[in-house]
């Protein structure tokens, strides 16, 4: 029986192509099973909630997760929410949640903040990402 990994995929909905691309990479391996705990695009907390409500929603989503995946594109350097997601993963639980930085395909520059806080750095391909997940979770 295949183990199911609980994943929180950090992303910006402004860059939903990368999020969808990451899901496609995870789906490429028929022997890899996961559950995505990311906040859905249609969740009204994005537009109608306060920062505190969104922080708590993110914390609740990360809580059951085995690992946090963060796209390490340059946009991450300018996102206040990436910093908060890192803080939640590192500081808000009895045991910190491992973080995997994923370098977007073809990127020349990546987020130093994300990579400095990552337990593993993966390349933009299925085997690299899945291998990193298994390394930090098993």
% of the chain with per-residue pLDDT over 90:
53
**pLDDT, tens digit, for every residue of 46-56?**
566 788 888 89
Please, which pLDDT band fits residue 75 given cuts at 50, 70 and 90?
low
**In the chain, what are the domain boundaries?**
4-137
The CATH number given to 4-137 is: 3.40.50.9200
pTM: 0.89
**pLDDT, tens digit, for every residue of 89-121?**
999 999 999 999 998 776 666 778 888 999 999
DSSP 50-102: -HHHHHHHHHHHHTT-SEEEEE-BGGGGG-HHHHHHHHHHHHSSSSPPPEEEE
pLDDT of residue 110: 74
């Amino acid at each position: 029986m295949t183990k199911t990994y609980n994943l929180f995929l950090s992303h910006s909905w402004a860059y939903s192509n990368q999020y969808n691309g990451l899901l496609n990479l995870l789906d490429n391996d028929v022997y890899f099973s996961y559950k995505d705990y990311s906040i859905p695009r249609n969740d009204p907390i994005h537009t109608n909630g306060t920062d505190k409500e969104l922080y708590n929603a993110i914390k609740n989503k990360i809580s059951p997760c085995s690992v946090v995946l963060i796209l390490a594109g340059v946009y991450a350097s300018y996102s206040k929410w990436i910093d908060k997601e890192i803080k939640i993963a590192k500081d808000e639980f009895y045991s910190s949640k491992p973080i995997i930085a994923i370098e977007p395909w073809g990127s020349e520059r990546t987020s130093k903040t994300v990579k400095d806080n990552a337990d593993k750095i993966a390349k933009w391909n299925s085997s690299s990402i899945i291998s990193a997940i298994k390394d930090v979770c098993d």
